[in-house]
Amino acid sequence: MTKFTVNNQPVEYLLDPETPLLWALRDASNLTGTKYGCGTGECGACTVDIDGEAVPSCRVSIAACEGRFVTTIEGLSRDRSHPVQQAFAAMNVVQCGYCIPGMVMAAAALLKRKPMPADADIDAAITNICRCGIYPRLREAIRRAAQAAQGQALVGAPPPGIDPAGAAHAVPALTPRAPGG
C-alpha cells in the first residue's frame, strides 16, 4: 500500500510498491496525459512534478513517492490558464502533441525554480525529446511564459481554430468520488 498526493488529492495505490509512478498514474488513476515514450528516463514524455521537481515518472517507483506531492499535466491547471500552457498555445508550439505534457511540466518546474531563465537555463532544464522538432519555438514560448508569469507581458490568444475550452474538459480521474464510490 502506498499513499501520497496526486493533483491535490490523497491517493492510496494497492499496487506492487515497485510499480513505476507512470503506470500507476495512467492505469490506476486514468491520468493519461502523462505519456510513455522510452521507459528509460531519456525522452521526458512522462515528466511530472514531484515536490517541485520535474521527474521522469517512468523511473520512480510509487514506493519512492510515499508522502510526497505529485502534480501531473491534468493538475497543473484545470482550464489551461498556466502561463506555460497559454504560451505554448499562443506560439503554436504543438505539432503532434505527444511530448507536450512532459515539456510543459518541465518548463513549469523550471519557472518555479528560475522565474526568468536564460537560454542556457532552458537548454539545461528542458532535455525532453520531441520527434517533431518544436525546439525553435520552445525557447520563445518559455521566455514568453516567464514574462507573463511576472506580469510583464500578456500571452496572446491562441491561434484561430484552437478553442480555449477544448483543453478544459472534465478529467474523470480528477472528479472527487463520493465516499465508497
Please choose, out of 9-17, 66-74, 95-103, 141-149, the segment that lies near ligand FES by the rule CB under 6 A.
95-103
Instruction: Give 27 or 116: the residue with its C-beta nearer to ligand FES.
Output: 27
Q: Indicate whether 101 belongs to the interface with ligand FES (CB under 6 A).
A: no
One of 9, 115, 131, 164 touching ligand FES (CB under 6 A): 131
The radius of gyration of the chain's CA atoms, rounded to the nearest angstrom, is 16
Task: Name the amino acid, one letter, at 153.
Answer: A
* Residue choice 44, 75, 83, 158 for contact with ligand FES (CB under 6 A): 44
Q: Which amino acid is residue 50, in one-letter code?
A: I
Q: What is the torsion angle, in degrees rounded to the nearest 10, for the CA atoms of residue 123, residue 127, residue 131 and residue 135? A: -20
Tell the residue number behind the cell numbers 505534457, with chain if given: 101
Residue 175 CB partners (closer than 8 Å, separation 6+): none
Element (H, E) at 145: helix 135-149
> Does the protein bind ligand FES through residue 134 (CB under 6 A)?
yes
Closest to ligand FES by CB, 105 or 116: 105
What is 84-99 written as a DSSP string? HHHHHHHTT--SS-TT
Residue whose CB is less far from ligand FES, 166 or 172? 166
C-alpha cell at 10: 490523497
Under rule CB under 6 A, residue 98 binds ligand FES: yes
Nearer to ligand FES by Cβ, of 97 and 164: the residue is 97
Residues found near ligand FES in the complex (CB under 6 A): 36-39, 41-46, 56, 58, 94-100, 130-132, 134
